[in-house]
Amino acid sequence: MNAPRIAVLGAGPAGCAVALGLQRLGYRVWVISEWRRFAAVEGVSARVLEGLRQVGLHQALASAAPPTPRRVRWSGVDQLLNDERLLDRPLFDAALRRDLADAGVELLQGRIRQLGQQGEQQRIVLEDGRSLLADFLVEARGRQAPLGEGRLRGPETLSLLSSWQAEPGRAGSAVESLADGWSWMAALADGRCYWQITLDAAAAELPPRDELPAYCAARRQASALVQALFGDSANAAAPVHARSSTAILPRQVVGPGWIRVGDAAMAVDPLSGNGVFQSLSSALQAPAVINTLLQHPERTQLACRFHQQRIEHLFMRFARTGRDFYTAEPRWADAAFWRARRGWPDAQPLHVDADIARLQVASMPVLNDGLIDEAEVVLTADQPLGIWHIDGVALAPIVRSLQAGRLEAALAALAPASRRTVQGWLLQQGYRP
């Protein structure tokens, strides 16, 4: 029998990473995508590059610019960091497609117009009239993926992006807080310049659309940081692309026959600088979830729970990271933009202190050899989804022994290197012999 046919909608980092993972598992994969309709530059950290390497997106990895200096002006304090990696998105997106081609994944270029059910299969209709049938759908169209009712939405946020060409020079980037929002900017070595301002969609006092280029130019003229990075070239009006950057978590991110990954599963506030990272994170786990849904339908609930819980957990972590950045800027705490974001999504701390008394053993879905399985894991205050193994040692039996007063015997049964690792972990959890 032929392997099921899987259609991945969207060739961004999430869709491409999932497609490669599925291809490795032996599935027949189509990626269906159009090109992004605007050019942008995005800043990522070294761990994104590690993620690209891990999922096998080598051409995309090679397209990242070398590390560039990044200036941060936040809460009136200036910092110079050296860890920003700039992704020129048109180059990066083209490299992602070369990675697909190198792996032999079929890419269909076109705009998806409609999805529908046909018997057991999903029908995908493209704008040019082509129509395809797939056994499983991976929704990876980013923020453009049709959204049912949003389960959780952050304060409505708008980003305006301007780009222009200047003389070639040194690459660099900068971020600064403003009374009504924040801006991020990057200069590439070939002279292309990008500046993006992020504002509250309701509170921002914006002119009519055709006056946005002049409005943005005036905002740039008022910034010493902009002048330092770009010089006079920033002062002329340049075309503006407006897009939403509201944080959104859809109600359901997986079901029988379909899954959402990347921004389609959770779109985070760009301030957290984690968009591409989270796309790769959700894409790393998705092939195992899909494999389980297709090969072990009896585990459907377990596999869905795994994906849903992890997406929700990651979303809340990034939402709280964003909230803490906003709270770290006290100067305009009462202005509409800052007030709404200092209190969202909640008041819970990003990390909860370790507490040995709160360790619990529970049965949870885990990723095991390309499938979702169920196993006993240890839940901690900071890791509510549980930890299964540490350095190859299952933690649940260790914690059970600790709780039964037999820790010494359980540790004695481990090899010396594993014993030291487990003892180190217990000490971090607050255990005191």
Question: Residue 15 or 287: which CB sits closer to ligand FAD?
Answer: 15
Segment near ligand FAD (CB under 6 A); pick from 129-137, 259-267, 348-356, 397-405: 259-267
Report the residue from 8, 15, 124, 387 that binds ligand FAD according to the rule CB under 6 A.
Answer: 15
Q: In the complex with ligand FAD, which residue's Cβ is closer, 23 or 279?
A: 279
Chain length of the chain: 433
Q: Which is nearer to ligand FAD, 111 or 420 (CB)?
A: 111
Q: Binding of ligand FAD at residue 112 (CB under 6 A)?
A: yes
Q: Which is nearer to ligand FAD, 242 or 409 (CB)?
A: 242
Q: How far apart are CA 382 and CA 84, in angstroms?
A: 28
Closest separation between CB of residue 14 and ligand FAD, Å? Answer: 3
Report in angstroms how near the CB of residue 126 gets to ligand FAD at its nearest: 8
Q: Who contacts 47 (Cβ-Cβ below 8 Å, separation ≥6)?
A: 277
Interaction with ligand FAD in 145-164: which residues (CB under 6 A)?
159
Q: Which residue has the tokens 């990034």?
A: 318
Residue given tokens 């459907």 in the structure block: 300
What are residue 200's DSSP bridge partners?
Answer: 157
Task: Out of 68, 122, 162, 279, name the contact with ligand FAD by CB under 6 A.
Answer: 279
Is the CB of 88 or the CB of 373 nearer to ligand FAD? Answer: 88
User: Token match 């039964």: residue?
Assistant: 404
Output 245 or 291, the one with its CB closest to ligand FAD. Answer: 245
Hey, what are 50's tokens?
Answer: 């590690």
| Residue window 372-411: x/- pattern of binding to ligand FAD, with contact defined by CB under 6 A | ----------------------------------------
Query: Between 284 and 414, whose beta carbon lies closer to ligand FAD?
Result: 284
Residue window 211-250: x/- pattern of binding to ligand FAD, with contact defined by CB under 6 A: --------------------------------x-x-----
C-beta of 172 vs 273, nearer to ligand FAD: 273
CB of 21 to ligand FAD, least distance (A): 14
Total residues binding ligand FAD (CB under 6 A): 32
- 419: tokens are 């014993």
What is d(CA 132, CA 196) in angstroms, rounded to the nearest whole number? 38
**Which of the stretches 9-17, 224-232, 310-318, 383-391 binds ligand FAD when contact is defined by CB under 6 A?**
9-17
CA-CA distance, 341 to 325, in Å (whole number)?
Answer: 9
Helix axes of 275-295 and 300-327: crossing angle, nearest 10 degrees: 170
CA 17 to the chain's CA centroid? 12
Name the residue among 23, 21, 22, 26 with its Cα closest to residue 3: 26
The correct pick among 144, 327, 418, 423 for binding ligand FAD (CB under 6 A) is 144
Among 65-73, 141-149, 332-340, 396-404, which window interacts with ligand FAD (CB under 6 A)?
Answer: 141-149
287 binds ligand FAD (CB under 6 A): no
Q: Which of 51, 142, 172, 345 binds ligand FAD (CB under 6 A)?
A: 142
Sole window of 137-145, 211-219, 291-299, 360-368 interacting with ligand FAD (rule: CB under 6 A) = 137-145
The reply on whether position 18 binds ligand FAD by CB under 6 A is no
Site string for ligand FAD, 26-65 (x = CB under 6 A): -------xxxx-----xxx---------------------
Of 311 and 402, which has the nearer Cβ to ligand FAD?
A: 311
Contacts with ligand FAD, residue ranges (CB under 6 A): 10-15, 33-36, 42-44, 111-112, 140-142, 144, 159, 243, 245, 262-264, 270, 273-277, 279
